[in-house]
Amino acid sequence: MPAALYSDKHSIFRINTQEVDPEAETQFSRAARELGIECIHAHSPQAKGRVERANQTLQDRLVKEMRLAGINDMDSANAWLPDYIADHNRRFAVEPKDASDAHLAYAGTSANLVRILSVQAKRTLSKNLSCQYENHLMQVKTTGASLGLRGAQVTVHEHFDGSYELLWRRRKLTYSVMDKPVRQAKVADGKSVNARVDKAMARRNTGHKPAVNHPWRKMSVGKSAHNGQRATP
């Protein structure tokens, strides 16, 4: 792992809004902190000149090289890129003054690394030991000892392969996932029922006109004389 990362102040690397919690972190900065990597944020593009010069060279040269190679789709570009990188480094690479490797060995386990690099979100368990995440209801499977988790703060880990983990104090919880229930429409009052009926009928209208002798044409359209309600098919 690198000892430090030198980047700009993009919102991927840090939270720039002043109104938020000063201790708030992005997913990137949280993962870097847990891995022990220091994040250094440049105040201007000129502060990281080597990166900017390399980007300027590639943004100009890479496009022309691809045009000369007749590449105009992503799959061909990905297949061609490794040979270009090797040729570019052979021609322009500079030997460092200090050849020692400054990277640090990762001392944790692979499972812990996968969890650190996941997208994490804090949630609070309800009284029935459930929480919501991305329109899904995550229901913790209860045991006798699990009832003490009511109101506990848990962490949802979303991994790159699309799987999820639910952890409480580094303890993996067993859960089931259900779709979030759809809320029922609000009860309509007497003033809005006619407008809602018109909208419902407009959605169902297929443009087909019934025959002249169709029973539907014999129904009265308008308000009933008895109860003032709209008569509908």
Asked if the model's pLDDT at residue 223 lies above 50, the reply is: no
To the nearest whole percent, how much of the chain has pLDDT over 70? 81
State the Cα–Cα distance between residues 61 and 222, nearest whole angstrom.
Answer: 73
A 10 A CB-CB count for 129 gives: 21
pLDDT for position 165: 94
Confidence of residue 69 (pLDDT cuts 50, 70, 90): very high
More confident residue, 43 or 120: 120
Residue 31: closest CA among 108, 93, 92:
108
| Structure confidence by residue, pLDDT tens digits, 153-175 | 999 999 999 999 999 988 999 99
For residue 34, what pLDDT is reported? 95
Burial class (CB in 10 A: 0-12, 13-18, 19+), 26: middle
Q: Which residue has the higher pLDDT, 4 or 21?
A: 4
Q: Please report where in the chains the tokens 């002043």 appear, as a residue.
A: 18
End-to-end CA distance of the chain, in Å? Answer: 70
**The pair of three-digit structure tokens given for residue 124, joined into one six-digit string:** 């609070």
pLDDT of residue 192: 72
Q: Is the pLDDT of residue 225 over 50?
A: no
Determine the pLDDT at residue 153: 94
pLDDT of 186: 63
CA distances from 232 to 158, 198, 219, 224 (A): 49, 10, 8, 10
pTM of the complete model: 0.61
For 22-48, the pLDDT digits (tens) are 778 999 999 999 999 999 998 887 777
Q: How far is residue 49 from each of residues 11, 22, 56, 106, measured CA to CA in Å?
A: 20, 29, 10, 29
Q: How many residues does the chain have?
A: 233
* Mean pLDDT of the residues in the chain: 83
Q: How confident is the model at residue 191 (pLDDT cuts 50, 70, 90)?
A: low
Span 89-109, pLDDT tens digits: 999 888 889 988 889 999 999
What is the per-residue DSSP string for 94-153?
---S--S-------S-HHHHHHHTSEEEEEE--TTSEEEETTEEEEEPP-TGGGGGTT-E
